[in-house]
Chains A and B, each alone.
Chain A
Amino acid sequence: MLDPLTDILLAIAALLGMAAVFGALLGFAGRYFKVEGDPVVERIDDLLPQTQCGQCGYPGCKPYAEAISQGDEINKCPPGGEATIIALADLLGRDVKPLDGDTQAEPLVAYIREDECIGCTKCIQACPVDAILGAAKFMHTVIIDECTGCDLCIEPCPVDCIDMLPRPRQDALIVSDRQPIGHISGASVYG
């Protein structure tokens, strides 16, 4: 039988040995399985509406996602609205907060009043998703399908010819809700 001191020393040695092995393992894993970028930022970015409008105070959705992961508030995205706040709160385990700013009732897109456009290309430079088509001294127009409704083009326009209007419905068919059909009289019971 060993004396208590040896016992203690053995235990310490064993623990130290294990610590060294696991430390090496973790260090190795940390080095060789390193994930580029922050995966949480990616997941936050996925929940944001990607309008790139900058209403949150950051120059795009990705920077705002980074800011959120660093502890910024989750209620600064008006285009996303309540749904986005709830989704973010769910992901990050934070409390749901009321939206900071005005809610957008419906998705909007930009329209250029084409006969007033002077062809200055300023809105083209402002558009974050290259959704405006045109050239210097030629009329510009917005590609509606690509416009995210961020209204960043309105500010730089020198003749104020851009309007934000509700987005047209995607599908060509306007579907009325189906009417309920009455019960068939004399119905038998299911079998």
Chain B
Amino acid sequence: MAKASFPGGIHPPERKALSTRAPLVRAPLPRRVMLPLTQHIGAPAEPLVNVGQRVRTGEVIARAQGMISANVHASITGIVSAIEEHPVPHPSAAVGECRALCIVIDGESGNADEGHGELKQKDEWLRMPPLDWRSSDDATLIARLRESGVVGLGGAGFPSAVKAQVRQRHAIDTLIVNAAECEPYITADDMALRTYANDIIEGARLFARLAGAERILVGIEDNKPEAIGALRQVLKNQPDDGMLLVTLKEVATRYPSGGERQLVQLLTNREVPSLGLPADVGVLCHNPGTLLAALRAVRDGEPLISRIVTLTGEALARPGNVEARIGTPMHELLAFAGLQPERLAKLIMGGPMMGVTLDSTALPLVKTGNCLIAATSEELPPTPPEQPCIRCGACETACPASLLPQQLYWFSKGREHDKAELFNLFDCIECEACAYVCPSHIPLVQYYRASKNEIHAREHEAHRAEHARHRFEFRQARLAREEAEKQAKRQARSRQLKKPPPATSQPAGDDLQAQIKKLRIAQAAARAAVKKAEKTLARVSEPGQSGATDLDDLETQLATARENLQATDARLAAAQAQVQGTATNDQDTQPR
């Protein structure tokens, strides 16, 4: 095999040692949690609880809505005190803060005698029954993943239950555990592997079975020797599990080797197609944290209510990794790590490359929050002002997706979005490598993001227009049908009165015949149109096909075709009755 690699990449300072000195610990239980209903990609969950209701740790408090969504669970025991909008970090980490509906739970104090005189917070669990994944069938496991609200903890927050059903549409041969963790500062996966290597490999086996993969590759950067050692130990001790081959693959440290596409290319030498998914080349990627959460959900019946988060930065006295409950206010976590508020210049969720700057420390920890960096002003100084592009081409050397960042920049700046799209704007993974190397300090990725947003908005408008047109056409067809039926009834009534319809509107016999013929053709065409619409609808409404909005439009189209058919039917019937009517009239008159 040729040496697999991806183009470009950068070597920013790692700064990982800051948070790996202390062992992984549990953060204290928060007194109050804020649980946003949108901590995942897809539709927001629907609240199931009322204000004032008592909930136990692990209880479902909001249920997934639609195909791509995830349940939200209470992460502490207490009383729901509010369901209201709060600023929260956005789940996809690419957009920063936003406001979203949150369920707020106030913790409940336990009895004084339980905690040696000290008032200890209650933590009463509601667990699901444990499952043995080796003896359970796929449907049970997927249902369990769906029930426990597990989403991709690496940053995107894609519901894992949906990803586990990948088999329905793709043939998967390789499952990749993405432990590269290439961004500076972040060590959550590193610490998770050091502490729970066994469980993570077990979780990988679970997902490999669900996906039907034949081998598991663990991709890890060579700057994590302890985690690699722990993994080696586990793989040595574990019995060989039938056909499944687990291989540890060390990769050279280079940003962004942890990008899904880049890691796939590094480990398997397969290139994920433009706008495609790793599943298109038979690969599925999972973050170690996700695997751990999934295994806990299945084996222990614990829903996703906590995660490992890195607390780091030079404004913290005791940086490290903690296992914290979802919804914990960030200031509590930072205080636990010894925040020195006077030194804090910038708070970042995620890594320094792709993370987002947060304006407030009052935001809750969400499922996708893998790292909090409390940086001092010397550590991450503000970006120097943007200077004109000097066309040095450094960005092109750094781009891991082989794009032309400079071209994209000109197109985005000139608002030539369609040209940017032609230059594969949507293959940009927004890794910021280009902005990092830019000597003019141009925030390139922000230009791309603005461009992408505009293109999406335009597509959305086009979709709306299409939808409105279908509804308009349906209305026109309905009005035409009503008119035709009215006309037919009117004619029938006038025939009953034995009075021939007004001479002006009655065509001569030959004309009538020609008209009937024409109507017959129209009727056949309308019938064909209905059939065609029915077929398209049936094809698209098969499980796993595209979104509900398309279905909606197709249903409207079908209804329109039916209206047209009914209208021609009515017209034809009227014309035929008229022919018969004139024929009988003729018979009546002829003998005389």
**B468 contacts A178, CB within 8 Å?**
no
Instruction: Return chain A residues, CB-CB under 8 Å to B379.
Output: 184-185
Check B474 against A177 for contact (C-beta < 8 Å). Answer: no
- Asked whether, in the complex, the Cβ of A176 is within 8 Å of the Cβ of B469, the reply is no
Query: Which residues of A have CB within 8 Å of B468?
Result: 50-52, 129, 146, 148
B96 lies within 8 A of A174 (CB): no
Residues from chain B with Cβ under 8 Å of A178 in the complex: 94-96, 356-357, 446, 449
Of B13, B380, B467, which contacts A182 at CB under 8 A? B380
Which chain A residues lie closer than 8 Å to B356 at the CB level?
178-179
CB within 8 Å for A129 and B475 given contacts A173-B99, A191-B254: yes
Q: Which A-chain residue is minimally distant from B457 (CB atoms)?
A: A170
A156 to B589, CA, bound (A): 52
A45 in contact with B381 (CB, 8 Å): no
B469 close to A45 (CB less than 8 A): yes
Known: A129-B468, A185-B381. A176 touches B97 (CB 8 A): yes
Interface size on B, residues (CB 8 A): 57
Count of interface residues, chain A, beta-carbon cutoff 8 Å: 35
Please tell me if the beta carbons of B472 and A179 are within 8 angstroms of each other in the complex. no
> Given contacts A128-B475, A173-B100, A178-B96, is CB(A190)–CB(B381) below 8 Å?
no
Against A, the Cβ 8 Å flags (1 = close, 0 = not) of B448-472 are: 0100000000001100111111011
Chain B residues in 8 Å Cβ range of A187: 12-13, 436
A34 in the interface (beta carbon within 8 A):
no
A27 close to chain B: CB less than 8 A: no
A183 touches B348 (CB 8 A): no
**Interface membership of chain A positions 161-183, coded 1 if the CB is closer than 8 angstroms to chain B and 0 otherwise:** 00000000010111111111111
A190 touches B437 (CB 8 A): yes
Q: Which of A131-164 contact B (CB under 8 A)?
A: 131, 146, 148
Closest Cβ–Cβ distance, residue B453 to chain A (whole Å): 9
B309 → A minimal CB distance (Å):
18
B355 at the binding interface (Cβ < 8 Å): yes
A117 at the A/B interface (Cβ < 8 Å)?
no
List chain A residues, Cβ under 8 A from B38.
Answer: 172-173
* A49-B9 in contact given A175-B95, A185-B380 (Cβ < 8 Å): no
Q: How far is the CA of A149 from the CA of B90 in the complex (A)?
A: 31
Partner of B348, one of A49, A172, A176, A181: A181
Asked whether any CB of chain B lies closer than 8 Å to the CB of A186, the reply is yes
Q: Which of B340-368 contact A (CB under 8 A)?
A: 346, 348, 352-353, 355-357
| Chain B residues with CB under 8 A of A191 | 9-11, 254
Contact between chains at A128 and B446 (CB < 8 Å): no
Does A6 sit at the interface, judged by CB under 8 A? Answer: no
Is B382 engaged at the interface, CB distance under 8 Å to the other chain? yes
A contact residues around B437 at 8 Å (CB): 189-190
Is there a chain B Cβ closer than 8 Å to A188's Cβ?
Answer: yes
Contact A184-B441, Cβ < 8 Å, known A130-B475, A178-B96: no
A146–B382 alpha-carbon span in the complex (Å): 45
Interchain CA distance A180-B442 in the complex, whole Å: 10
Q: Which of A51, A130, A170 contacts B474 (CB 8 A)?
A: A130
Known: A148-B468, A191-B254. A183 touches B384 (CB 8 A): yes
A48 within 8 A of B: yes
Bound: A187/B464 CA distance, A: 47
**Taking the nearest CB of chain A, how far is it from the CB of B377, in angstroms?**
9
**Cβ–Cβ contact A182 & B471, under 8 A:** no
A184 and B12 in contact, given A45-B469, A50-B469, A170-B460 (Cβ under 8 angstroms): yes
The prevalent SS among residues of B at the interface is mixed
Residues of B near A61 (CB, < 8 A) are: 469, 472
Determine the distance from Cα of A98 to Cα of B100 in the docked complex, in whole angstroms: 41
Cα–Cα, bound, A183→B353 (Å): 9
Closest residue to A52 on the B side, CB-wise? B472
- Asked if residues B465 and A49 are in contact (CB atoms below 8 Å), the reply is yes
* Pair B446/A188 contact, Cβ less than 8 Å: no
CA distance A131 to B471 in the complex (A): 9
B6 nearest CB across to chain A (Å): 13
Q: In the complex, are the beta carbons of A182 and B469 less than 8 A apart?
A: no
- Is A119 at the interface (CB under 8 A from chain B)? no
How far in angstroms is the closest Cβ of chain B from A52? Answer: 5
Quick one: closest A residue to B449, CB to CB? A178
Of the candidates A45, A172, A174, A177, which one forms a contact with B44 in the assembled complex, judged by CB atoms under 8 Å apart?
Answer: A172
CB pair A175 B13 closer than 8 Å:
no
Cβ of B542 within 8 Å of any chain A Cβ, yes or no, is: no
Which residues, 289 to 309 on B, are CB-close (under 8 Å) to A?
none
Q: Is the CB of A176 within 8 A of B433?
A: no
* Closest residue of B by beta carbon distance from A130: B475
B472 touches A60 (CB 8 A): yes
- On whether the beta carbons of B95 and A182 are closer than 8 Å, the reply is no
- Shortest distance in angstroms between B434's beta carbon and chain A's nearest beta carbon? 10
Is B522 among interface residues, defined by CB-CB distance under 8 A?
Answer: no
Chain A 44-61 residues near chain B, CB threshold 8 A: 45, 48-52, 60-61
CA distance A183 to B13 in the complex (A): 11
Given A50-B465, A173-B90, answer yes or no on A180-B383 (Cβ-Cβ < 8 Å): yes
Q: When the two chains form their complex, are residues B96 and A184 in contact, meaning their CB atoms are under 8 A apart? A: no
In the complex the two chains form, is B95's CB within 8 Å of A176's CB? yes
Which B347-406 residues have a C-beta within 8 angstroms of A?
Answer: 348, 352-353, 355-357, 378-384, 394, 397-398
Asked whether, in the complex, the Cβ of A130 is within 8 Å of the Cβ of B471, the reply is: yes
- Docked complex Cα distance between A178 and B350 (Å): 13
Taking the closest CB of chain B, its distance from the CB of A185, in whole angstroms, is 6
A sample of 11 inter-chain contacts (CB < 8 A) reads A45-B469, A51-B468, A146-B467, A173-B100, A175-B95, A175-B98, A181-B348, A181-B353, A183-B383, A190-B398, A190-B433
Q: Which 8 A-B pairs have the closest CB atoms?
A: A50-B465, A179-B357, A129-B471, A190-B10, A50-B468, A50-B469, A182-B380, A173-B98
